[in-house]
Chains A and B, each alone.
Chain A
């Protein structure tokens, strides 16, 4: 993850101009006070955020489900677009959808908290993209291609493979961070194991 804050500015920068990403703008546009939410993002992303700002923002993430739904909708749209773009019979397209659902199940979607659900959706989208590009790559490599076309397909396959690996790594990293870790606490002569969140990657 980059060191830029959520608004796109480097840490410590000041000024009124906000360089928001289009995706983030869309997420904010679904709320009734996007400017306030953005300002809160910036406070939370500062080097020493105030505890009250962190608490407020945590509450905001819990209450503003539309921020999460934008991501869920984006994932569903990407999958729908990929499946509809396939030039194949309906049964093949349905098997693609089933494959995506199997990936979600394998990654524990049903029991996962909200953030992990999004990361699992992202991984499933990247998996489907990789599968389709790999299929097209294999098909095209059987025919005669110019060196430029061959290099194009090699680059495409490499890109989608990297994207899928990064999605899986991010899911694993967040799970590791958020997973409670048993901590041994000594009170007097007694040794007690207490469960706390993980401290670092």
Chain B
């Protein structure tokens, strides 16, 4: 939307897309067009504020997600560390106790 000057007078036009091409659509002139132009500006500002707020919330949520991901990474490392020191290892993506730590119970069973 915008004002276009023809001679001494100004006319208010709206840009619309028809079939892939942009065409100018005449809205009016004088006081009516002025009111429409102000209303259009308010709508634009409102859309801009909404978009800004939306982006702000997305950034805030992304930051929180980053903190949670960091927590999960630390906990995952500590979990792995404890399981390793307790005699477990991964085999085909499953945690298993090391074989040598199972043998004492089998030996006791043979006595």
Contacts and interface: CB of A to CB of B under 8 A. Distances in A.
Main secondary structure of the interface of A (DSSP, over half): helix
A168 to B, nearest CB: 13
Contacts of A115: 78-79, 82
Interface residues of A, number: 58
Contacts of A198: 97
A23 B70 CA distance: 6
- Taking residues whose C-beta sits less than 8 angstroms from the other chain, chain B's interface range is 35 or more
B90 A75 contact: no
Interface stretch (B17-25, B27-35, B39-47, B101-109): B101-109
Interface stretch (A91-99, A103-111, A118-126): A118-126
Contact of A183 (B74, B79, B85, B105): B105
27 contacts: A21-B73, A21-B77, A23-B73, A24-B74, A26-B74, A45-B80, A58-B86, A74-B67, A75-B71, A77-B67, A78-B67, A78-B68, A81-B64, A81-B67, A115-B78, A118-B79, A119-B79, A121-B75, A177-B83, A177-B95, A183-B105, A185-B105, A197-B87, A198-B97, A199-B102, A200-B97, A201-B95
Interface of B: 60-61, 63-64, 67-68, 70-90, 93-97, 102, 105, 108-109, 111
Given A3-B90, A54-B87, 8 more contacts: A1-B79, A6-B80, A6-B81, A24-B74, A74-B70, A85-B60, A178-B86, A200-B94
